[in-house]
């Protein structure tokens, strides 16, 4: 066996074992769809986390600080809470978009490398086949 062929096949096998299946699954989506799917979970978790923080804030304000809810400006406080949640969602959407875009880019680079390795292996096999035909 050719040493280059063994090295190339080993690289291909390692890729298939480690990232191959997940990269091929991610490659089934357009970039925008991949980013949207990743951001959907980011937004959901950030929204739930923000709601929990707001609930803890309101509970602390009412029960521990002893703020009278009849004296509070509820319209202003609810507005501030909504703005807080929207800010959290906007920040995490931006962070999630940057992260998902980077992941998609890296997946595409790995898949390009995989395609280059398979082409290299085909060239090696083609040369070996021509060499065998010439020997016969």
pLDDT at 52 over 90: yes
* pLDDT of 90: 95
Measured distance CA(107)–CA(38) in Å, rounded: 14
* pLDDT of 74: 83
pLDDT at 127 over 90: no
Enter the pTM of the model: 0.72
Contacts within 8 Å (CB) and 24+ apart, 113-117: 113/15, 114/12, 114/15, 114/20, 114/23, 117/8, 117/11, 117/12, 117/15
Structure tokens at 87: 């800010």
pLDDT at 15 over 90: yes
First to last CA, the chain: 18
């Amino acid at each position: 066996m050719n040493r280059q062929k063994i090295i190339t096949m080993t690289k291909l096998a390692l890729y298939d074992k480690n990232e191959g299946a997940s990269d091929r699954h991610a490659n089934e989506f357009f970039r925008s769809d991949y980013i949207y799917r990743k951001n959907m979970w980011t937004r959901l978790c950030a929204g739930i986390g923000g709601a929990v923080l707001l609930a803890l804030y309101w509970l602390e304000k009412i029960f521990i600080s002893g703020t009278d809810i009849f004296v509070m400006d509820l319209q202003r406080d609810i507005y501030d809470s909504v703005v807080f949640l929207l800010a959290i969602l906007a920040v995490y959407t931006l962070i999630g978009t940057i992260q998902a875009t980077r992941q998609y880019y890296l997946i595409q680079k790995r898949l390009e490398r995989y395609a280059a390795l398979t082409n290299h292996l085909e060239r090696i096999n083609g040369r070996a086949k021509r060499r065998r035909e010439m020997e016969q």
